[in-house]
Amino acid sequence: MRTRTFIPKEEDIERRWWLVDAEGKVLGRLATRIAQVVRGKEKPYFTPHLDAGDFVVVVNAEKVRVTGNKPRDKIYYRHSGYVGHLKEAPLGRMLARKPEWVILHAVRGMLPKNRLGRRLLKKVKVYRGPSHPHAAQSPQPLEV
């Protein structure tokens, strides 16, 4: 008799809500932990092709830390599609303007590059200050 591999069904997956305070946390280490939880990698029934992860609420995004010369040297690029319209912005300016985007961008890079990754990214909620509208879900604090 062969042993069958257990693959959880959608109704078997237990979803939880986690709260992360980004104040004083290093951006990359914070992003890896968030990606791990959103992907569901610490659950015993993790399956690479399924969404088995939890929701993560990140507060105090504006107080996230980066090390070394990254605020000056790390550059984000975007292109409008028109000739000569390549825009660039250093990490320091992006942290001042859109700290939520910086954290989401870091987490996005650690998720799969397909439909599953786009679905997982929707479970990350990032807020600039200490308040968030997800109190009804009673998120548990997550150690990073």
In a domain, 57, yes or no: yes
Q: Is residue 42 part of a domain?
A: yes
Q: What is the domain count for the chain?
A: 1
Q: What domain range includes position 42?
A: 15-66+98-141
CATH code for position 35: 3.90.1180.10
Q: Specify if 116 maps to a domain.
A: yes
What phi, psi does 21 have (nearest 5°)?
-95, 115
pLDDT in tens, the chain (144 residues): 788 888 899 899 999 999 999 999 999 999 999 999 999 999 999 999 999 999 999 999 999 999 999 999 999 999 999 999 999 999 999 999 999 999 999 999 999 999 999 999 999 999 999 999 999 999 999 998
Q: Is residue 52 part of a domain?
A: yes
